[in-house]
Structure 1
Amino acid sequence: MTGPQRVRRVVVSLAVWWLLLALALWLLGTMLDQPASVAQCAASSAFLVALGEAGDWARRRRRAKQES
């Protein structure tokens, strides 16, 4: 896969995860009768996505070091 196509794929993937997680947090808060604003849920989901991506990056880096 070429550079621009790969970047576009990663950006779309992260955006979809972010939106789905924000929706899930908002729905969960609504169901538990502790609603939060959509902006609060979006901020929380952005943090969780960034944390997950950092963990994935660290895992791949550690695995690459072990293989070499």
Structure 2
Amino acid sequence: MGDEPLAIEIDSAPDDEAARRVWCRLCGRPLTGDRSRRTGLGPACDAKLHPPGPDIRTRRHEVEQDTLPGV
């Protein structure tokens, strides 16, 4: 593994899931959402590391062409 910090759990009580505190691996803020707690990244940090793919509509462009004969 590299120097990447792991999600840190503090005050973990084995029988009480809500009492555990999990911190973001990138910015260190406390995580509250279930998905964020599982991944170890907050929504903003996750978006930085995994940006959405390009929209296919932005790759389209107009092509100049001659008019069809007989039109």
TM tier relative to shorter chain: under 0.3
Between Structure 1 and Structure 2, the one with more helix by share is 1
Between Structure 1 and Structure 2, the one with more strand by share is 2
Q: TM-score, normalising length from structure 2?
A: 0.27
Q: TM-score, normalising length from structure 1?
A: 0.27
Structure of higher CA gyration radius: 2
